[in-house]
Structure 1
Amino acid sequence: MSASLKISNSSKFQVSEFILMGLPGIHRWQHWLSLPFALLYLLAIGANTLILTTICQDSALQQPMYYFLGTLCVVDMGLATTIMPKILAIFWFDAKVISLPECFAQIYAIHCFIGMESGILLCMAFDRYVAICHPLRYSSIVTNTLILKATLFMVFRNGLFVIPVPVLAAQRNYCSKNEIEHCLCSNLGVTRLACDDRRPNRICQLVLAWLGMGSDLSLIIVSYILILHSVLRLNSTKAAFKALSTCSSHLILIFFFYTAIVVVSITHLAETKATLIPVLLNVLHNIIPPALNPMVYALRTKELRAGFRKMLYLDQKKKLSIETFPWISVLLK
């Protein structure tokens, strides 16, 4: 029996690090994808920072809906920063090695931020429900205290809720391969390398996903059913259209976020071997929402566009003039 086979069959052997190979099947030219990935990351950080700055500076935007949007911006930047620096380091500097603690920490952070985003989307749905179905009681129900409690609850809920995922992954016995056919440490991608039974990891991830994001989505659907029922009872078509238009940006975010999660989950659970499409979808799901969310709100929310204009015109003496950048004028119309 060869020495390598003895090591592979030894239950006492444990790998000390993982190697992130990148996108399976296109290792030789995957570095060309670093440009669009880097642009998406810069867009995510820049756009979310712009929205946060605008909300902080414009008193007209200091309302519950925009507080939740600001929280969503922070979560999106956290999610993008959790994965993109390492992915770009792999593409640019061939920095494929990642230690086990770093890998399990990344698993935790990814699941935590995704769960937080789902929770914030639920909070935003509740905000729209109260604003449309109980407008006279809105200011007494959706208070700053409620916003703070809801945000902290979502942070602690997901912070504690996802702990079993990396803990179970760390308890697996990695006695043979340490090359992960992925750009990041995903739970199923890492545990695929385990020498022992990985079914507890798959079951745990599925159960937590249904309990966490599944319950969030169910409550969001209920809230929009109640919103639709309330809107259909309005006598004015114009008022009904205005009420629904305030929800349009939020509905776009919800549709993309949960659809992408379902697609990524199905492709990962269906694959026994890592292939390009599921891995690429997993990466894009973690970077496109942070880049897309602020664009959707910026283009579809009149008050936010007005806040951008105020900030760009804030100091006429310093002449950070919008006429210098005519493309900005088009976006803010």
Structure 2
Amino acid sequence: MQATPFCLKVGDLLSYSMSDSNTTDFSSPSTFILLGIPGLEAAHVWISIPFFIMYTVTLLGNFTILFIVKTEPRLHEPMYYFLCMLAVTDLVLSASTVPKMLSIFWFNSREIDFSLCLTQLYFIHCCITMESGIVVAMALDRYVAICDPLRHSTTLSNCFVAKIGLAVVLRGSILAVPYPFLARRWPYCRTNIISHTYCEHIAVVKLACADIRISSYYGLSVAFLVIGLDVSFITVSYIQILRAIFSLPTKDARLKTFGTCGSHLCVILAFYIPALFSFLTHRFGHNVPPHFHILMANMYILLPSMLNPIIYGVRTKQIRDRLIWHVTHIE
């Protein structure tokens, strides 16, 4: 059934929610209303332009990576398998959030079904946790390739890579389950208006008229546990990698070996820096304007997914050469 067009202004929405919040029961809301970026409503169309460009680059870049790895047998190696996992995760993450953002900016389509909102919330946290795990798996691949190159093919066999991929998917899927489960059990008796462009966890549960400390503490615990463990593993891996690199006899050998880690280091920075910045501004930046919080949260979703295929496409010779070959042989 087609949703009823929603064309009220933000001021109307706010006045509606304030006037009805004491009399309307949202304990089981059928829909939520996403405001987009409050305070920047007049600029929504302009903001949508870079968002649309970033989403287009994300789709083209990640599908190109998948196509090149699939069609080039020489790229059927652990590093490129992990890269394909990263590409699929980025595609799912962006597809679950960006189309709704653009529909808000372009068509003022602010309504989202309650179940769809919780589904979006689940996929966001699932994909982010999976992406962090894939970055760790890539660090493991670089560690074995540099510190124990003779055993790389036997250690990181196809079977072992598949087990790592399965573990990453299971970890992300299981850890993300409590987010929508807890959000669904809270009663919503205040308002159904979310001041965001997507169903961000805290933005949703803050609407509940109940003690939401369980949701808040769980979100903090998972963030510290996942990021803490993953960053610690990556740090230990690169300490060992740097030791192995500095033990090489010549400067050229050291630079060449370190260059094989360049793409992965860029992906690490592109993923964790926006995540850390968004997390810190959301939790501790109480004096930061709300629209800045939301813009940073959007960059956290959009930026890594767009940059990952660009980084590997530009810095990895095998992918770059294969892409050039495909382009030059188009008839």
Does the TM-score normalized on the shorter chain lie above 0.5?
yes
1:85 maps onto 2:103 in alignment: no
Q: Tell me whether 177-186 or 255-264 shows the greater mean CA deviation.
A: 255-264
Counterpart secondary structure, 1:131: helix
Judge conservation of contact 2:45–2:106 (CA < 8 Å) in 1. Answer: yes
Judge conservation of contact 2:270–2:303 (CA < 8 Å) in 1. Answer: no
Name 1:287's counterpart in structure 2.
Answer: 302
| Amino acid paired to 1:207 | S
| Amino acid paired to 1:304 | I
Deviation of 1:214 (Å)? 2.1
Q: Tell me whether 208-217 or 283-292 shows the greater mean CA deviation.
A: 208-217
1:61 maps onto 2:75 in alignment: yes
1:257 maps onto 2:298 in alignment: no
1:214 is matched with which residue: 204, 228, 234? 228
2:290 is matched with which residue: 275, 287, 305? 275
Judge conservation of contact 1:61–1:307 (CA < 8 Å) in 2. Answer: no
Name 2:23's counterpart in structure 1.
Answer: 7
1:108-257 equivalences under 5 Å are 108-257=122-271
Q: Tell me whether 12-21 or 298-307 shows the greater mean CA deviation.
A: 12-21
Deviations 1:126-151 (A, max 9, x none): 00000000011111101111111101
Judge conservation of contact 1:43–1:291 (CA < 8 Å) in 2. Answer: yes
Distance 1:134 1:21, change over 3 A: same
CA distance in 2, matches of 1:227, 1:112: 29
Q: How many residues align?
A: 313
User: TM-score with structure 1 length normalisation?
Assistant: 0.89
CA distance in 2, matches of 1:13, 1:230: 59
Q: Any unmatched runs of 5+ in structure 1?
A: 321-333
Judge conservation of contact 1:7–1:13 (CA < 8 Å) in 2. Answer: no
CA distance in 1, matches of 2:325, 2:36: 43
Deviation of 1:313 (Å)? 3.6
Deviations 1:179-220 (A, max 9, x none): 111000000111121111122211100101122232111111
Judge conservation of contact 1:119–1:213 (CA < 8 Å) in 2. Answer: no
| Amino acid paired to 1:173 | P
Counterpart secondary structure, 2:38: coil
| Amino acid paired to 1:151 | G
CA distance in 2, matches of 1:39, 1:183: 17
Distance 1:4 1:276, change over 3 A: closer
CA distance in 2, matches of 1:100, 1:5: 18
Identical-residue share of aligned pairs (%): 37
Deviation of 1:271 (Å)? 5.3
Name 2:60's counterpart in structure 1.
Answer: 46
Cα RMSD after superposing both structures: 1.8
Deviations 1:272-296 (A, max 9, x none): 6970111111111111111111111
| Amino acid paired to 2:308 | N
Judge conservation of contact 2:104–2:110 (CA < 8 Å) in 1. Answer: yes
Deviation of 1:15 (Å)? 3.0
| Amino acid paired to 2:117 | C
